[in-house]
Structure 1
C-alpha cells in the first residue's frame, strides 16, 4: 500500500483530528487536469531546454485544513 505525500499526511492528520497546531504558511493547489493541460501546451509550444512551472492557487494552510 502506498503512503501519502508529506502534504497529504498533513491533510490526513487534520481530517483525523491529529493536528493540534500548524505553521501559518500556505500551499499551491492545482487540479491534475490543469497540470496535464500544461504539459500538453509545453510539448506543443515550449522551447527545447526551457523549464516551466505549473501551479494553481496559493491558499493559506488554515483555509485548506
Structure 2
C-alpha cells in the first residue's frame, strides 16, 4: 500500500511540473489590470507552484504516519 501511495505522489508531482511548464511566464506583466476583451489567466505559475508544494507536503506527511 505504501508503494502505491508513493507512486501516486510521484505521478502528481510530475504532472504538476508538466502543468507548470505549460503556463506561460508573465514576468513584469500586471495581471490585476484587465483591458477590454482580455481575459485573465485561469491559473498562473505561482498558483501551480503552490499547489505542487502542497502535494509534496501532504505526501511527506503521509510517509511519516
TM-score with structure 1 setting the length: 0.23
Return the TM-score normalized by structure 2: 0.23
Higher helix share: 2
